[in-house]
Amino acid sequence: MEILRVEDISKVYSLEGEEVKALRDVNFHLDAGDITVILGPSGSGKSTLLSLLGGLSSPSKGEVFCKDKSLYKMSGEELAHFRNRIFGFVFQFHHLMPELTAVENVIMPGWIGGRDLEASRKRAEKLLAHVGLSKRMNHKPGELSGGEQQRVAVCRALMNEPEIILADEPTGNLDSKTAEGIHDVLWELCQKEGRTLIVVTHYEPLAKRADHVLTLDAGNVTKKRN
């Protein structure tokens, strides 16, 4: 069943008085439960596309539909509520709250979304245990390794049981061995919970594990199915 549809999306920036076309008339759709990797060199528009898919920025033209709803016809408040409920985000840099413990960082989207606090804590503890951090959940980010911090960020993205996980270079700041572990965690958790996963990366071997590969080149997109 279709969960995301992109229709004629373009994104144009103004840089030092010149137009930069980050995306050009992009069209594709993705089904629920699919794992999609977005490949392309630096500056090809990968992160721009991901931010448009998640409602974090607006296109210059075109539409993004999620569950048949146009993201950019919602009010700001409607879109914020929709994002919190439908999307989970994982970024290259974990962006954890340094004053909170691992479990508190994971619970945070639940607090924002108005979920029951006790149920949120139980889910957070279960997620952290699943990624091997049951003995580290009361540690603050400064007491965790880079790989452990990113595992916490993955759990945080899954906290509200979102239908779609958007991951932007989630292992770009990690060594290759640690990165493979994070990839395994993302794949396993999303497949176990039936989540749709979209990953931006420059690491081409990761594409072999995906259902679909979107390749960006100079703002244009090609899609192939593995």
User: For position 111, what pLDDT does the model report?
Assistant: 83
User: For position 102, what pLDDT does the model report?
Assistant: 95
The two tokens of residue 201 are 């990366």
User: For position 225, what pLDDT does the model report?
Assistant: 67
Q: How many CA atoms lie within 13 A of 174 on its CB side?
A: 24
User: For position 220, what pLDDT does the model report?
Assistant: 79
User: For position 224, what pLDDT does the model report?
Assistant: 67
Query: Phi first, then psi: what are they for 218, rounded to 5°?
Result: 55, 40
DSSP symbols for 35-77:
EEEEE--TTSSHHHHHHHHTTSS--SEEEEEETTEEGGGS-HH
**pTM score of the predicted model:** 0.83
Q: Which domains does the chain have, with CATH numbers?
A: 2-225 (3.40.50.300)
User: For position 117, what pLDDT does the model report?
Assistant: 86
| 173 sits in which H/E element | none
**Helix, strand, coil content of the chain in percent (nearest 5):** 40, 30, 30
Calpha distance 198→49 (Å, rounded): 11
Per-residue pLDDT tens digits for 115-149: 888 899 999 998 898 888 889 999 999 999 888 88
Extract the residue ranges of the chain whose pLDDT is less than 70: 172-174, 223-226
User: For position 52, what pLDDT does the model report?
Assistant: 92
Handedness of CA 66, 150, 185, 207 (dihedral sign): positive
